[in-house]
A and B are shown apart, each in its own frame.
Chain A
Amino acid sequence: MKRILTIVLQIFLIAAFTSAVQAQSAPKEVVIGASIPKNGVLAAFGSYAGWGYKTAVAETNAKGGVMLKKYGKRVPIKLVVYDDESRPELATKNIERLVIKDGAHALLGSATPPLVISGAVVAERERIPMVAALSPIRAFLGANKAGWKWTWNMFFDELEMTQQQFLTLNSVKSNKKVALFTDNGQDGVVMGMLWGKNAPKLGYEVVYHAKFPVGTTEYGDLIRRAKEAKAEIIIAQMITPDAIALWKQMGALNYKPKAAFFEKGGEPVVWSKILGKSAQGTMVAGYWHPDLGYPGAKELRARFEKDTGELYSQHIADAYAAAQVLIDGMERAGSIDPVAVNAAIGKTDKTYVVGPVKFTEGKGKRSAALPTFMLQWQNGDLEVVHPKKWATKKLIYPLP
């Protein structure tokens, strides 16, 4: 009897000691870091990304935090966000600070390729998993020919996106002459090249291609040349302030194309707010709309508009989903071990609010391509106009 009691006591002590050790190892909080542009020319994108990240983390914390099986408990998430002011060098510094000073266990990406890639370089060096959205796939993959190992990206694929403009216009009449306006950012360079390739395959002709640095304010000369080339279709890839300047100057110089696509620059709601009526009918490729039927999409839009009083942007969805992908990765790994979390993210295969996410693209399969369609500004709201199966409104053509 005494022997049995001794054995039971020993088992009890071992169990108590083990759980005490485990409880001591569980982190007080899981730190997720992000550097986003709250200021500068990309601030519009940063505001959507920040809201998406914050909302996803708050929802997880409302349940007690992220479930880590290794510790047998939920651990709250601390989201630390720094402003990179739309500057790549600051994005790099911020990520370094997040990892070294704040002890970030995982990271979320910034907005647009220069900022995402600058942060990703640090994530790779520090071997901390990062999930990014808001960076086109080819621009992201092209920045690391050896293949990313710790950074995951979910956004549209330019190969598909740069066909949408031509496919959208196949149902209407034009002279099929296209003028391209692309800046020298990574996505501008990649998309400019792809439009040049795709246009002739789809029956269009690029009659003029203007290339210019980011931050250009005066486009008169370029506009005159596009006008001389008699392009009825404008496709632009530039940041919002530059796109606004270009469109205003086109109006001032009496250049009225029949269709205008403003990729990246024409998407945030400030485009419509600042341009007012002249934004009517301008188009931008999209990858998310609240009416597409993805789980929680309508509710996400409603929540954003209630929180901010602003019209939604599709970027709230991929940012929100990126944070969820990261948190789900941690839960699958059951710990905050970077190697385990990184491997678990790679196994993502689920439909989120932004659509199906599975990392299959590029070397190392670190990118997930979101399907694209065409959006058009109509009466201050973005409507899906192509393909017809997803269209929420009819295409306005030509531009009013």
Chain B
Amino acid sequence: MSFFTVSAGALNGLMLGGLYACMALGLSMVFGVMRFVNVAHGELLVLAAFLSFVFSTAFGLHPFIVMLVLIPILFVLGYVMQRVLINPLMSAGLEPSLLTAFGLSIIAQNLFVEIWGGNTKSLNNNFSEMNVNLLGIDVPLLYIISFFIGIVVTVGIHLFITRTYTGRAIRAATQDAATAMVMGINVNRIYAITAAIGAATAALGGTLIGMTFSFTPTTGFPWLLKGFVVVVLGGMGNIIGTLAGGLLLGLSEGIGAAFVGTGYRDMVGFVIFLLVLMFRPTGLFGLKGSE
């Protein structure tokens, strides 16, 4: 095993980390603001992938164009789901909303099968077999695009949270929902907006997954698990931390695969996940109530 192999693994992993960050941002936001583990987030990613497939097949549009169209669609879907299904349960504790999300996940998977069938699908695009040579190492172009999309979206959401009135309201609701309500903030609406932003980022993550890999109606769960690892690594609710967590996961998987083999790639990520949980449960960059 050469230095080149390790370097190539590290660089490719780091780039892929951008996709992980896109995929996990929604999960991180929802958990950070509402302390709600959205176990249906994996199905949002798969829904985005399927909708991308439908639009790009029906209208001949490039998946990147479709991705932009899907952002407002999933934003609205996330808003409605939160407002109608989850918000009414938030005051009843963690379990009812968690079970509802779980139920939604099962319903979604079955709907996907009914509508689109169980066969593997992928988003055909001219980027999936292109590469860029960085420092003598071939890196798939889609990984590089995902890396930059991850950074742009993370910075965008961070600026939204820190520089806008709604963003300040979200931070207030995160820190103390009861006081935020007293101060005139419509917390239910804020929760719905947060979920909507989370769903909108799933449009990005799901499309990138569909372009880079392939997907079936049950692909959501493995990606949800990876999303949890990213969120824990970065610090729950910390947007910049989620980007860092995604990049760190990608990097460690890439290096780990070079040393112990691709077969143990995912295991490397989960071992790091467990170590972080044991020694720093708030995550590497997490502070309670931050963002």
Partner-B contacts on A (CB < 8 A): 37-41, 43-44, 46-47, 85-86, 184, 210-213, 215-222, 224-225, 228, 240-241, 244-245, 248-249, 251-254, 268, 270, 274, 276, 278
Contact = CB atoms under 8 A, between A and B. Distances in A.
B119 to A, nearest CB: 5
A228 B2 CA distance: 11
A240 B257 CA distance: 22
Nearest to A40: B218
B179 interface: no
A244 B213 CA distance: 8
A216 B214 contact: no
Given A38-B113, A240-B214, A252-B129, 20 more contacts: A39-B113, A39-B217, A40-B118, A44-B120, A47-B117, A210-B262, A212-B263, A216-B262, A218-B253, A224-B5, A241-B120, A241-B215, A245-B213, A245-B214, A248-B128, A252-B130, A252-B138, A252-B141, A254-B131, A276-B124
Contact of B214 (A85, A213, A220, A244): A244
A210 B120 CA distance: 23
Interface stretch (B8-16, B165-173, B198-206): B8-16
A230 to B, nearest CB: 15
B112 to A, nearest CB: 9
B216 interface: yes
Question: How large, as a class, is the contact surface on chain B?
Answer: 35 or more
Given A39-B218, A40-B218, A244-B214, A221 B120 contact: no
Nearest to B209: A217
B257 A221 contact: yes
Given A218-B262, A241-B216, A274 B122 contact: yes
Contacts of A40: 118, 216-218
Nearest to B142: A252
A87 B109 CA distance: 15
Instruction: Find the residue from A222, A249, A252, A268 having the highest chain B CB count within 10 A.
Output: A252
A224 B8 CA distance: 9
B131 A274 contact: no
Contacts of B158: none
B121 A274 contact: yes
Given A46-B118, A212-B263, A221 B214 contact: no
B196 to A, nearest CB: 28
B119 A44 contact: yes
Across the A-B interface, the 10 shortest Cβ-Cβ residue pairs: A43-B118, A251-B129, A252-B140, A39-B118, A221-B257, A274-B122, A212-B263, A241-B214, A241-B120, A220-B12
Nearest to B122: A274
Contacts, number: 114
A47 B116 CA distance: 13
Interface string B252-276: 0110011001110110000000000
A219 B258 CA distance: 11
Contact of B8 (A86, A220, A274): A220
Interface in B103-142: 109, 113, 117-122, 124, 128-131, 138, 140-142
Contacts of A270: 119-121
Contact of B16 (A44, A218, A224, A248): A218
A216 B265 contact: yes
A216 B263 contact: yes
A43 B122 CA distance: 15
A69 to B, nearest CB: 40
Given A221-B258, A241-B216, A43 B140 contact: no
A41 B266 CA distance: 19
B93 interface: no
27 contacts: A38-B118, A39-B216, A39-B217, A40-B118, A41-B216, A43-B117, A44-B119, A46-B118, A212-B261, A221-B5, A221-B8, A221-B261, A222-B262, A224-B8, A224-B9, A228-B5, A241-B213, A244-B120, A245-B214, A248-B212, A252-B138, A252-B140, A252-B141, A254-B138, A274-B120, A274-B214, A276-B124
